[in-house]
Amino acid sequence: MAASPSRTIAFEVLRRVEEEGAYASDELHEALGASVKPVDAALATELTLGVLRWRRLLDCLLERHLKKPVERLDLPVALALRMGIYQLRFLEKIPARAAVNESVELVKRARKTSAAALVNAVLHKAAGEASTPAEKLLLPNLQPAERLAILHSHPTWMVERWLSRLGEVQATALLVADNERPRLSCAMHESSRRQEIFDELEAAGMRVEPGVLLKDAFSVSGGSLAKTRAFQTGLISIQDEASQAVPLLLGVQPGDRVLDLCAAPGGKTAVLARAAGSDGIVIAADRYAHRLRAVRAQFERLKLTSVQLVALDAERPLPFSRQFDRILVDAPCSGTGTLARHPEIRWRLQPEQLDEFHRLQVRMLRNALAILAPGGRLVYSTCSIEPEENEDVVAETLRYEPSIRRVPTNTAVASIQQHLADGLAAETLFVRDGSFRTSAAVQRTDGFFAAILERPRS
């Protein structure tokens, strides 16, 4: 008996995530080609992302029946056990017998036949308590942060800092949101063809729902969006709604000179290029050539031919002789606002890295401000929810740059209100200091931060 295609794909993707530092979304995109049946693609995706999201809880439950921590097992054995117990705990439609037997086959396929008996025994024991709430199986003397961290499968240090900053109610809501399947959000590039696009997607078996933030956003479920004519001809793109909203904060006007300093994969640049029009100048920059190649491929699909691509290191003074009217600095960051979409981040990130990101972000922001024209506007954004990467970066930069000021909140609100979904007040997306914020727990989008800065004309 061989393991099913869906489980084999999930197993291999998880192995590459662990061994090679790959990202699950990228690996799934590569693995789930046209030859993979939709039902197998759906289960492979569910298993991969589910195991990554719930890894800590899964390991805790497995270790009740093991003599050593899961992380000390050979990786193929650990992955087979995690996949097995995830199915037992979270996928009620899969028979326990199938979950156990397929996990045993995965171990054999990985040439770890000697561990097959261990996997079989542990998962049979886990199956016997699969209906028992996890909380009842934890040790009774755990500290509150530790208990929350295990039950919601996050690192303890992350939970501790969120509890300290947000309080238990908001922190718990965020933990819950991080473990929910995120919406597959899309941007519509030609709103006049809205009904035509929706009709095509629904004919392909997809369910279409309106966006929660933006008029020209929507979400889909079921089917393969990338195989549709609407996607292939550039009428739509896959992009989280908060990510779609960030470039709108720049208020780009026709004819503007625009710089997207950290452009890959190019979704935000596309918004800027359309707003600048044929008379504008738009430059998409990134540090790595392979990322710019991906941006170029994106622009070819979207039929954007006027954007100039430049490879540069944004940590160094920027090589432009002229200033820009609008600059977007969507900075590299920890990604803690995207843990539902990229669950592996929670296991890779270390607390000391937040300070490293902070120093990098300050350098990038200061270099960008040096080429912002008088009267120009800059948006600094991250998909992080950590103060070190957001408020603290802006505050430190403004101490160095006394001529720069924040755009007033009412101006920021006005810049985006026209783009928002009916009934949504822009004020709800801004905090007291004028920063733009979204949250997986509140808006059901990625958690984004954006600060809007300007250089006065005199």
In the CATH scheme, what is the code of domain 184-238? 3.30.70.1170
- Sorted by sequence, the CB contacts under 8 Å of residue 85 that are 6+ apart come out as 58, 61, 62, 123, 126
| Residue boundaries of the structural domains of the chain | 5-137, 184-238, 248-454
pLDDT tens digits for 6-20?
A: 999 999 999 999 999
Under the banding of pLDDT at 50, 70 and 90, the label for residue 199 is very high
pLDDT tens digits for 418-443?
A: 999 999 999 999 998 899 999 999 99
Highest mean pLDDT among 21-35, 354-368, 431-445: 354-368
Run of H or E including 394 = helix 391-400
Distance of CA 269 to the CA centre of its chain: 18
Under the banding of pLDDT at 50, 70 and 90, the label for residue 38 is confident
What's the predicted TM-score (pTM) here? 0.94
Q: Cα torsion for 225, 284, 387, 399, to the nearest 10°?
A: -160
pLDDT of residue 223: 80
Distance of CA 312 to the CA centre of its chain: 24
**Average pLDDT value for residue range 335-347:** 97
Angstrom distance (rounded) from CA 246 to CA 328: 9
Among 3.40.50.300, 3.40.50.150, 2.120.10.30, 2.60.120.10, name the CATH number for the domain at 248-454: 3.40.50.150
- Sorted by sequence, the CB contacts under 8 Å of residue 55 that are 6+ apart come out as 82, 153, 343, 347
pLDDT tens digits for 268-321?
A: 999 999 999 999 999 999 999 899 999 999 999 999 999 999 999 999 999 999
Under the banding of pLDDT at 50, 70 and 90, the label for residue 2 is confident
Burial class (CB in 10 A: 0-12, 13-18, 19+), 15: middle
Instruction: Say if residues 211 and 217 touch (Cβ distance below 8 Å).
Output: yes
Among candidate residues 83, 19, 24, the one with its CA nearest the CA of residue 51: 83
pLDDT at 146 over 90: yes
Residue 65's identity, in one-letter code, is H
120: helix, strand or coil: helix
pLDDT tens digits for 59-89?
A: 999 999 999 999 999 999 999 999 999 999 9
Under the banding of pLDDT at 50, 70 and 90, the label for residue 1 is low
CA atoms within 13 A on the CB side of 179: 20
Catalytic residues: 383
pLDDT at 217 over 70: yes
Assess if CATH 1.10.3720.10 describes domain 5-137.
no
Instruction: Say if residues 440 and 174 touch (Cβ distance below 8 Å).
Output: yes
